[in-house]
Every structure is written in C-alpha cells, then in structure tokens.
C-alpha cells in the first residue's frame, strides 16, 4: 500500500489532518452553548451557500465553468464520503444493539446472534470482494471468495430481498380491498382507474380487446382522422386506454404533485439553510 511516494504523502496528509481535526475537539468544547449553536448554524449556512452559489453564479462561456465548479465536484464526492460514514454510524448502532441483546441474554437473543454472524460473514466477504475488484492492498480474487460471495449475495441476500418485496403483493390486496370499497366519488374514480390500468398493461387487456373485435392496428389514415369510427374503436382498446390514462391523465397529476413537493422542499430548504428549524441547540 505504501510503496510509492504518492502513497506516503497521502498517508502523511491523512494522519496530519486527523490529528488536527481531533485536536480541535478540546478547543470546541470550550465554546458556550450559544457559541456552539452559532458554529453549527454557520457551517450549515456556508455549506448551503456554497452549493447554491455554484449553480447560480455565471459561468465562463468557453469552459462552461465558474470558479466554484471544480471544488463543487470534489465536495460532492466528499458529501458521498460523509454519507458513507453515516451509513457506518447506522451499522454501528445496529451492531451495538444486537451485541447488547446477545451479551445480556435479553429476550430472543438467539436471533441477535444470527444477525451478528450474518453481518460479520457478509461484511468480511463484501469488503474482500470490493478490495479484489479494485485491486486494492494487493488483494486477489480466489475460488473461496467467488463461491462464498455468490452463495451469500446471489443465492441468499438477493433471494431474501426479492421475496421480502414480493410479500407486498399479498398485503397490497388487502389495501386494495379497503381502497376499492366504493364509498365516495373519489374511491370510485380510484378503483375504476386502477382496474383499467391493471388490466390494460397485462396481456389480459389485449386479449379482451381482441375478443370483442376492436381494431388491432393504428393506421396513418386513422391517425389523421381522430373522429372516425375505426379510430375511436381503436382508442377503446384496453392497452390504449391504460396508456392514455398513464401518459395523458396521470402525467399532469404527477407533475402537479411534483411541483407541490418541489415548492415545499424549497421552503423547507430555506428554513434549514438559515437554521430556522427548531432542534439545533
């Protein structure tokens, strides 16, 4: 790992930065509560300002960049690094909880052991696999890694994941039963639309449309004359109706929802950026 000059310098910088950052903590600890609040609000504000400014500042016509573009790309990568570290934080919380369960032999501690063993085994092979893929630390791919990772990932995790999500298919039917009970105009519209879409996007829709003799193809002549009987009959095919609902009726509704969400997110972003949300103390 440390066989080149670049690696040695990189390691030097990392160790130096770590010492400096952790040496700051006793200094930060001397801040009064008000100072801590201001520091957090300041960091929040500067981070928001940087990411907003990069977008809104004019760019050079030749390069298509402004002076913040390059650091912006680096900092976006850094955000991913910090987000990855926060994932480690979540994992740490999970492992801590189940370790306590196992050590203190709380109720159903056996399941915690299963979770811990699964976690350690998969973490080992996942890290090994990633290192081997990137060729890091001189790690090589071996038959043991191939077999163990295939077994754990392809034949266990992927299968469990797909099955877990397919379970929703069963529960969605009970949800559908509650949603489809016709109690109001809104529920009726919801039911009718969902039924048309569900039938229309599977081969059953095509089968029903073919069975009742609706035209199979849209010709150029039909396209130019939307009020001709043939065109109207073609448009009544269930797959066409389902497509029309999805593209013409559903698309503006989704866009309106997105606008609502976007404006809400913008308002929330301003409040967070200016530390107006309660909770930062």
Both structure tokens of 68: 């913040």
**CA separation for the pair 13, 7 (Å, rounded):** 10
Chain position carrying tokens 């029903």: 208
Chain-centroid distance of CA 229 in Å reads 47
Smallest gap from Cβ 154 to other proteins, in A, equals: 7
Measured from the CB atom, the residue of 1 and 212 that comes closer to other proteins is 1
Smallest gap from Cβ 255 to other proteins, in A, equals: 6
Q: Identify residues 34-73 at the interface with other proteins (CB under 8 A).
A: 36, 39-41, 43-56
- Contact call for residue 91 and other proteins (CB under 8 A): yes
Measured from the CB atom, the residue of 10 and 212 that comes closer to other proteins is 10
- Contact call for residue 123 and other proteins (CB under 8 A): yes
Pick from 48, 6, 88: nearest CA to 276: 48
- Contact call for residue 228 and other proteins (CB under 8 A): no
Chain-centroid distance of CA 25 in Å reads 33
- Identify the burial level of 186 via C-beta atoms within 10 angstroms of its C-beta, where 0-12 means exposed, 13-18 middle and 19 or more buried: exposed
- Contact call for residue 103 and other proteins (CB under 8 A): no
Pick from 266, 267, 212, 218: nearest CA to 238: 212
- Contact call for residue 109 and other proteins (CB under 8 A): no
Q: Which region, judged by CB under 8 A, interacts with other proteins, from 58-66, 209-217, 271-279?
A: 271-279
Measured from the CB atom, the residue of 104 and 166 that comes closer to other proteins is 166
Q: Identify residues 2-21 at the interface with other proteins (CB under 8 A).
A: 6-7, 9-10, 13-14, 16-18, 20-21
**CA separation for the pair 216, 222 (Å, rounded):** 12
């Amino acid at each position: 790992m440390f066989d080149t000059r670049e690696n040695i310098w990189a390691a030097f910088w990392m160790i130096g930065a770590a010492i400096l950052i952790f040496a700051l903590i006793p200094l930060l600890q001397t801040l009064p509560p008000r100072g801590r609040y201001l520091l957090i609000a300041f960091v929040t504000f500067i981070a928001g300002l940087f990411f907003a400014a990069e977008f809104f500042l004019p760019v050079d016509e030749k390069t298509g960049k402004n002076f913040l573009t390059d650091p912006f790309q680096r900092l976006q990568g850094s955000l991913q690094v910090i987000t990855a570290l926060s994932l480690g934080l979540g994992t740490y919380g999970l492992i801590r909880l189940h370790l306590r369960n196992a050590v203190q032999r709380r109720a159903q501690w056996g399941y915690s052991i299963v979770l811990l063993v699964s976690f350690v085994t998969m973490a080992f092979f996942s890290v090994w696999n990633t290192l081997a893929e990137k060729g890091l630390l001189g790690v090589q791919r071996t038959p043991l890694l191939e077999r163990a990772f295939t077994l754990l990932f392809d034949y266990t995790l992927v299968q469990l994941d797909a099955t877990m999500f397919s379970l929703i298919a069963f529960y969605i039917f009970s949800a559908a039963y509650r949603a489809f009970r016709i109690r109001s105009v809104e529920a009726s519209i919801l039911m009718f639309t969902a039924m048309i879409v569900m039938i229309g996007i599977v081969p059953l829709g095509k089968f029903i449309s073919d069975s009742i003799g609706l035209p199979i193809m849209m010709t150029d002549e039909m396209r130019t004359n939307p009020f001709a009987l043939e065109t109207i009959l073609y448009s009544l095919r269930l797959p066409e109706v389902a497509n029309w609902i999805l593209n013409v009726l559903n698309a503006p509704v989704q866009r309106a929802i997105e606008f609502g969400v976007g404006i809400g997110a913008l308002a929330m972003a301003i409040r967070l950026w200016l530390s107006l949300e309660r909770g930062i103390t």
